[in-house]
């Protein structure tokens, strides 16, 4: 699915023109990006930090970037349908492609702008869960619009037998309330750093999870269909991303939502 899988959301897509510097790439043509709508990082009203980061990257590189922020199913089709309508998708990563049975060699990834992790969140009183096997026998809530990596996604798609009760929800807040407020589930799988933002904003009961035991971790990056022109443009984008990271621009935009790469990477 890429990070954001097929979803039932029906919010209309929003075309977001992203400014670029005047010294645009010699081709005069930039990149069209399908953005996976996310309430925290990439909302449809373009107010989120990921929209600002894409704008900053385009400005720094001098490459026109145009991003459509779409519900997951529509964004995926823009990128991977029979007739692709965009060059790239965001946020995504090569690591997601095998889960969707897509050929990694057909794509190229820019440098990561953030790193995200999947945690199993439980109510107070339960020991932290640090592996997929520990979810056996539990009532498990998950966002039906997300993918959770090569081990967990096949279970949630019911492609792999697993002894757990599955509760798909439309968004993480619904799942967290089912778990922490109404006690209807035993655990919720959720992406961090969005999880942190939800907990701070909604003042929910304190959940149990171990930051050192993610079920999965992956980069958030611009992922593109491979071609000579796109590869050339991505070299310029990578230089821009490096420059923005060195100056602390991306970190400042994300604040608490920024996660550095794992130390063992």
91 and 125 part of one domain: no
Could you tell me the residue range of the domain that residue 145 belongs to?
118-215
pTM across the whole model: 0.86
Please give the pLDDT value at position 97: 93
Please give the pLDDT value at position 6: 44
Note down pLDDT in tens along the chain; length 265 residues.
556 654 333 333 333 343 333 344 444 479 999 999 988 999 999 999 999 999 999 999 999 999 999 998 899 999 999 999 999 999 999 999 998 889 999 999 999 999 999 999 999 999 999 999 999 999 999 998 888 999 999 999 999 999 999 999 988 999 999 999 999 999 999 999 999 889 888 888 999 999 999 999 999 999 999 999 999 999 999 999 999 999 999 999 999 999 998 865 4
Closest alpha carbon to 224 in 27, 30, 82, 39: 30
- Report yes or no on 55 lying in a domain: yes
- Report yes or no on 9 lying in a domain: no
- DSSP assignment of 86-133 equals -SEEEEE-GGGGGGGT--GGGEEEPPPSEEEEEEEEE-TTSPPB-SGG
69 and 93 part of one domain: yes
Please give the pLDDT value at position 29: 76
DSSP code at position 193: T
Measured CA to CA in angstroms, residue 118 lies from 158, 191, 195, 206, 229 at distances of 19, 5, 9, 17, 34
Q: Provide the 3-class DSSP secondary structure of residue 144.
A: coil
- Report yes or no on 242 lying in a domain: yes
79 and 207 part of one domain: no
Number of domains in the chain: 2
Please give the pLDDT value at position 2: 58
Please give the pLDDT value at position 5: 57
124 and 239 part of one domain: no
- Report yes or no on 5 lying in a domain: no
30 and 111 part of one domain: yes
Please give the pLDDT value at position 100: 85
d(CA 129, CA 248): 33
- Report yes or no on 238 lying in a domain: yes
Please give the pLDDT value at position 264: 58
122 and 67 part of one domain: no
CATH number, position 92: 3.40.190.10
Whether the upstream peptide bond of residue 91 has omega within 30° of 0, thus cis, is yes
């Amino acid at each position: 699915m890429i990070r954001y899988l097929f979803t039932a959301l029906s919010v209309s897509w929003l075309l977001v023109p992203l400014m670029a510097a005047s010294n645009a790439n010699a081709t005069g043509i930039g990149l069209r990006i399908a953005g996976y709508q996310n309430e925290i990082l990439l909302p449809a009203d373009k107010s989120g930090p990921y929209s600002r980061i894409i704008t900053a990257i385009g400005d720094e590189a001098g490459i026109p970037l145009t991003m459509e922020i779409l519900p997951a199913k529509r964004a995926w089709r823009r990128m991977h349908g029979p007739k692709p309508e965009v060059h790239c998708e965001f946020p995504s990563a090569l690591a997601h492609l095998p889960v969707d049975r897509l050929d990694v060699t057909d794509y190229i990834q820019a440098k990561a702008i953030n790193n995200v992790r999947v945690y199993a969140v439980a109510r107070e009183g339960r020991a932290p869960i640090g592996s997929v096997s520990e979810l056996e026998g539990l009532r498990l809530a998950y966002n039906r619009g997300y993918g959770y990596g090569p081990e967990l996604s096949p279970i949630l798609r019911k492609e792999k037998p697993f002894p757990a009760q599955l509760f798909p929800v439309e968004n993480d807040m619904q799942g967290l309330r089912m778990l922490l407020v109404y006690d209807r589930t035993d655990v919720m799988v959720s992406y961090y750093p969005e999880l942190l933002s939800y907990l701070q904003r909604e003042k929910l009961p304190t959940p149990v999870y171990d930051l050192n035991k993610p079920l999965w971790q992956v980069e958030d990056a611009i992922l593109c269909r491979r071609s000579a022109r796109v590869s050339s443009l991505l070299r310029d984008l990578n230089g821009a991303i490096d420059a923005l990271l060195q100056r602390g621009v991306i970190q400042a935009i994300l604040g608490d939502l920024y996660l550095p790469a794992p130390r063992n990477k």
